[in-house]
Every structure is written in structure tokens, then in C-alpha cells.
């Protein structure tokens, strides 16, 4: 049935429920011997194939310095899949995937290697029917981004044709400040048109992060309260129990704020605080996210309202953990932050006067990411003080991970003959409410790249706004002192608690 505009709402609704399957295509991974590729990218490709979301001739090309033959690469993919994929191993899926696995050995400035890559792609187009559609995933340190995209251009690998596409997928960090992000963008856009550039922020690929929009805009009961009239403050926490592992080379000099606040935490803030987009299309989403990020204001006193920390030796999970400065590959005088807490405000009618506290850290008490919207206290209480003295503030907590779900905390009468009110919580847990399994973030994002769907990828405008927020903080930190120390396994430096205590608030202990 169509309406007067020729639209068919029923068909559209059914189309939306059909699995989104990628058309003929392939993925080239630069930096294929790295951790990200082994733990996330290669397993995600297999999981997509296993769920039937890739075309039969899908091809996976690895590019790295390692002296591997195609078979060695296939063996690596196999090991990564066996160890890290989320769906059960099926021999027939693997046998199909391995048909399209190729390896190209070389340096990024090696012209011959890029020519071999070109021949490989042509060969795959013929043998596997990839149709000339290839995405180039730059899973390499940022200093190599310009070289790789320039090589792609020089060897005609980035040429867009009428009936096929070439895309660039760029891992974070996108620059290390506003200026470098803009420069990097200029270089990338000389080679790829803006709509073929996909910047990865894997938090946007998480189900629970996408659910922020569903929770807010598919319901009526939350949004009327989602503003300065009811909300006291918002806390966004991304705590990790791991240290820096083998990533010293990347992490030292970058630190927690650049590593995850600039991207993951500010994206969470944007989704929590933005206005309702006109649709879930990329243009509409980007417009609202950029608008709210543009309204974010820094605290006046950066010394008091931002805190950076660095983990010292301590105990974690019953085991002794070394301090950051003792980690392999770390400069023993390093001032890099492994913890950062920042108070931000948003200058608009909805949020005026509501602080947004962001914190992140490595080697904290436990791994948890959550957004807590903490509500004001009831303006009047008919109960006497003793009845409510233990009562906290109402809160809605979006549990991003682990234990994905949403908790609502509110006061309830304690059963008994006296009037006593205590905090209770109501829980929604993904595992209990849905039988469908969540795709891993990288699965979702790789599929979206192959489909050319840009909704879950930050655009340059958002990246620029994030650096605008972070740059002055980093500059302040560079000039002033050292990070505060906190023992591994604790919840960060005392200064961060003091920061909230000055506002009469405290951090949640998730």
C-alpha cells in the first residue's frame, strides 16, 4: 500500500528489519600484525561472515612488513578468529573466507609493495568478484596516516569509479590537537572525498551507546526530566582495571584525556546532552552532536576543576601491579596522565548550571563505563528527617559495560510499621530482556563501512569541537606541575574526590 507520495511505510518498515548485508567488497588492513587487528578486526570479519552479513567472495588483504606468504597470513587470521571471535567456529565459513585472504609485504614508502597491492586487488576482483570495492583500514600509528593515504593516491588505489568505491577507515587518535587534526584531514581529503572517509570511534559501535538515543527519543517518560529543571548533574565514567599493557609507545605522551576523553567520553556526553535529531541519518546526528559540543564550556579554574593522575604501584585483583613509571618502555620522568577528571558545563537553555563530570583512568578499581544522570532532591519531603536520612538522589544510570543495561535508582518505603525510605533500584539488563546477541562494536562498524553507512562515525566537525575542548586543558597541564599519584587498584587521586566535594557532590562507586 502506497500513500499519495508513492511511499510505502509497511515495505519501509520491513526493509528496516531485513539483515543489512554488504555487497561485493573487500577490506585491506594496514598494520595487520598489530594488536587491534588480531583481537578485534580479523575476528569481527569472521563473525560478520558467520552471521551471513558478508558477500560470498569477500576478501581480506593484510599489508605489513612481516615476511609472510598468503598462507602464513591465513594462519594468523585463523588463530585470531579461534581465539577472539564471538560466534562459534564453523569450518565451512572459514573455508569460504580463506579463499579471499591475501597478504602484501612491504613498508609504507615501498612503491613496489603498493603496486603489488594494486595487482592483488585486481586479481581479487576477478577471482572473488569484489567489484573494485575496497575499504582501506589504517590500523597504524597516526604518524603513518599521511604516507599511507598518499601512497594509495600515487598508485591509483584511491580512484573512485562510477560503479565502484574506495574508502578510508581511520583509527583514532585523529590528530593530537586541533591543528594536527585539521592538517590530517586536509591530507586525507586530498585523496578521499569526505563521504568515503570513516573515522572510527568504536564506542559508537557499542549497542549500549546507540541505546542512549533509543532510551531518550523512543520513549516519553525520560525526556521531560532531561534538563536543568530536574537534573542535578551528570557523571560519565570510563574506568579500566588494565594498565597500559604493551602499548607504551602509543600511550606515553598521549595520556588518558587524549586517548579516550577527546573521543569516547565526549561522544557519550554529546549523545546524552544533544537535542533530538530530525532523523537517525548521519547529517542530522552530526548536526546535533556538533551543536551541543560547540556549547560545551571549560571551567574557569582549570587548576581546580580538572585533575590528572598517574598510577603508582599497588594491588589489583589480589596481584601486585607496578606503577606507570616502572612499566616497560615508559620514560621514568613521564608526566603522562593515566587518569583524568574534568568538569564541563553546557551553555544552552537545557543544561545551564548542570555540571557534567567526566572521568577516566587505567588501573582503577574495576572495569566499568557508565553514564549517570543524577536528579535533584525532592523540593519538599513530607517525611521526617530520620525517615529519609540515608536516601540518595534519584539517578538513571546507563550501564555501557560490562553488565550492559540501565538502572533507575529511587527511594522506596522499607517494609515495616514505621515510615522509613531507602534507595532501591530497578534494572534492565540486555541479557535478560533480549535473546538477540549484540554484535561486537567493530563488527557493526566494519559492516557500516562496507555499506557506506556513516551514521556511527564522527565527522571532522565533531573531532574539531572535541579538540577545542581538550586543547586548553592539555596546555594547562603541560605548564603546571605533575599528575597526582594514585595507587593501582584504587579509584584515582584524592584531588578528584576533592573536586566534587567542593561542589557538595561525590563520585559514584560503580
**Cβ nearer to ligand BG6, comparing 259 with 337:** 259
Residue 291 marked in a binding site:
no
Strand duo 339-346 + 356-361: pairing: antiparallel
440 belongs to the binding site for ligand BG6 (CB under 6 A): no
Nearest distance from C-beta of residue 240 to ligand BG6, angstroms: 5
**Cβ nearer to ligand BG6, comparing 132 with 205:** 205
Residue 335 marked in a binding site:
no
443 belongs to the binding site for ligand BG6 (CB under 6 A): no
Kindly state the cell numbers that stand for 32: 595487520
Residue 179 marked in a binding site:
no
Kindly state the cell numbers that stand for 504: 557538595
Query: Which residues, in sequence order, are CB contacts of 219 under 8 Å at separation 6+?
Result: none
Q: Which residue is nearest to ligand BG6 (CB)?
A: 259
Let me know: does 159 contact 118? Beta carbons within 8 Å: no
Nearest distance from C-beta of residue 239 to ligand BG6, angstroms: 10
**x-or-dash string of contact with ligand BG6, 354-383, rule CB under 6 A:** ---------------x--------------
Nearest distance from C-beta of residue 97 to ligand BG6, angstroms: 24
**Cβ nearer to ligand BG6, comparing 235 with 369:** 369
Annotated active-site residue in 233, 264, 380, 385:
264
**Cβ nearer to ligand BG6, comparing 87 with 369:** 369
Q: Helix, strand, or coil here: 399?
A: strand
**Cβ nearer to ligand BG6, comparing 22 with 456:** 456
Comparing C-alpha atoms, which of 137, 159, 146 is closest to residue 34?
A: 137
Let me know: does 371 contact 268? Beta carbons within 8 Å: yes
**Cβ nearer to ligand BG6, comparing 54 with 441:** 441
Nearest distance from C-beta of residue 216 to ligand BG6, angstroms: 22
Note if the bond before 234 is cis, omega within 30 degrees.
no
Nearest distance from C-beta of residue 441 to ligand BG6, angstroms: 7
**x-or-dash string of contact with ligand BG6, 305-344, rule CB under 6 A:** ----------------------------------------
Residue 172 marked in a binding site:
yes
**Cβ nearer to ligand BG6, comparing 207 with 259:** 259
Phi and psi torsions of 191, nearest 5°: -110, -45
Residue 202 marked in a binding site:
yes
Direct distance between the N- and C-terminal alpha carbons of the chain, in angstroms, rounded to an integer: 50
| Residues contacting ligand BG6: total by CB under 6 A | 4
Comparing C-alpha atoms, which of 379, 391, 410, 360 is closest to residue 510?
A: 360
Instruction: Give whole-number Cα distances, 47 to 41, 43, 290, in Å.
Output: 10, 6, 33
Nearest distance from C-beta of residue 73 to ligand BG6, angstroms: 25
Residue 259 marked in a binding site:
yes
Site residues (CB under 6 A) for ligand BG6, limited to 222-261: 240, 259-260
Q: Is 5 an active-site residue?
A: no
Nearest distance from C-beta of residue 109 to ligand BG6, angstroms: 26
Kindly state the cell numbers that stand for 8: 510505502
**x-or-dash string of contact with ligand BG6, 267-306, rule CB under 6 A:** ----------------------------------------
Residue 440 marked in a binding site:
no
Kindly state the cell numbers that stand for 77: 587470521
Strand duo 134-138 + 26-30: pairing: parallel
For residue 203, give the DSSP letter: G
Let me know: does 402 contact 367? Beta carbons within 8 Å: yes
Cα dihedral: 26, 31, 34, 35 (round 10): -50
Q: How many CB atoms lie within 10 A of CB 220?
A: 7
Let me know: does 421 contact 383? Beta carbons within 8 Å: yes
Let me know: does 447 contact 210? Beta carbons within 8 Å: no
Let me know: does 168 contact 197? Beta carbons within 8 Å: yes
**Residue list for the binding site:** 65, 172, 202, 206, 240, 259, 362
* Active site positions, annotated: 264
**Residue list for the binding site for NADP(+):** 65, 172
Residues contributing to the site for ligand BG6 (CB under 6 A) = 240, 259-260, 369
Amino acid at each position: 500500500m502506497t500513500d499519495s507520495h508513492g511511499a510505502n511505510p509497511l515495505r519501509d518498515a520491513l526493509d528496516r528489519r531485513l539483515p543489512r548485508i554488504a555487497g561485493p567488497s573487500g577490506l585491506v588492513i594496514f598494520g595487520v600484525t598489530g594488536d587491534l587487528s588480531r583481537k578485534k578486526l580479523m575476528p569481527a570479519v569472521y563473525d560478520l561472515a558467520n552471521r551471513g552479513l558478508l558477500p560470498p567472495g569477500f576478501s581480506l588483504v593484510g599489508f605489513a612488513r612481516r615476511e609472510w606468504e598468503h598462507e602464513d597470513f591465513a594462519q594468523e587470521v585463523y588463530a585470531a578468529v579461534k581465539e577472539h571471535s564471538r560466534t562459534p567456529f564453523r569450518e565451512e565459513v572459514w573455508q569460504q573466507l580463506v579463499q579471499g585472504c591475501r597478504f602484501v609485504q612491504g613498508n609504507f614508502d615501498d612503491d613496489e609493495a603498493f603496486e603489488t597491492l594494486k595487482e592483488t586487488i585486481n586479481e581479487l576482483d576477478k577471482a572473488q568478484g569484489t567489484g573494485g570495492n575496497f575499504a582501506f583500514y589504517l590500523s597504524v600509528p597516526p604518524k603513518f596516516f599521511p604516507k599511507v593515504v598518499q601512497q594509495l593516491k600515487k598508485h591509483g588505489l584511491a580512484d573512485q569509479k562510477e560503479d565502484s568505491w574506495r574508502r578510508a577507515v581511520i583509527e583514532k587518535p585523529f590528530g593530537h590537537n586541533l591543528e594536527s587534526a585539521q592538517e590530517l584531514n586536509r591530507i586525507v581529503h586530498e585523496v578521499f572525498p569526505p563521504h568515503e572517509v570513516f573515522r572510527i570511534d568504536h564506542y559508537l559501535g557499542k549497542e549500549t551507546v546507540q541505546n542512549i538515543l533509543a532510551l531518550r527519543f523512543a520513549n516519553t517518560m525520560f525526556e521531560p526530566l532531561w534538563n536543568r529543571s530536574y537534573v542535578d548533574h551528570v557523571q560519565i565514567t570510563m574506568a579500566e582495571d588494565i594498565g597500559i599493557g604493551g602499548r607504551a609507545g602509543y600511550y606515553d605522551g598521549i595520556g588518558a584525556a587524549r586517548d579516550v576523553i577527546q573521543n569516547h567520553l565526549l561522544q557519550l556526553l554529546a549523545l546524552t546532552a544533544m537535542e533530538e535529531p530530525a532523523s537517525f541519518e548521519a547529517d542530522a546526528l552530526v548536526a546535533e552532536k556538533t551543536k551541543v559540543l560547540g556549547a560545551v564550556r571549560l571551567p574557569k579554574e582549570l587548576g581546580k576543576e580538572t585533575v590528572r593522575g598517574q598510577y603508582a604501584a599497588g594491588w589489583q585483583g589480589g596481584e601486585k601491579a607496578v606503577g606507570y613509571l616502572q612499566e616497560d618502555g615508559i620514560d621514568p620522568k613521564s608526566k603522562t596522565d593515566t587518569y583524568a577528571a574534568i568538569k564541563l558545563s553546557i551553555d544552552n537553555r537545557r543544561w545551564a548550571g548542570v555540571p557534567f563530570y567526566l572521568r577516566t583512568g587505567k588501573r582503577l578499581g574495576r572495569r566499568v563505563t557508565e553514564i549517570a544522570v543524577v536528579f535533584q532532591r525532592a523540593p519538599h519531603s513530607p517525611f521526617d528527617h530520620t525517615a529519609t536520612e540515608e536516601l540518595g538522589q534519584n539517578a538513571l544510570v546507563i550501564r555501557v559495560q560490562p553488565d550492559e543495561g540501565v538502572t533507575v535508582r529511587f527511594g522506596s518505603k522499607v517494609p515495616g510499621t514505621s515510615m522509613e525510605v531507602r534507595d532501591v533500584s530497578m534494572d534492565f539488563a540486555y541479557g535478560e530482556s533480549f535473546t538477540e546477541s549484540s554484535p561486537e562494536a567493530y563488527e557493526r562498524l566494519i559492516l557500516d563501512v562496507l555499506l557506506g553507512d556513516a551514521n556511527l562515525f564522527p565527522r571532522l566537525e565533531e573531532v574539531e569541537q572535541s579538540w577545542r575542548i581538550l586543547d586548553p586543558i592539555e596546555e594547562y597541564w603541560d605548564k603546571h606541575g605533575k599528575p597526582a599519584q594514585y595507587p593501582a587498584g584504587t579509584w584515582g587521586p584524592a584531588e578528584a574526590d576533592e573536586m566534587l566535594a567542593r561542589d557538595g557532590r561525590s563520585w559514584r562507586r560503580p
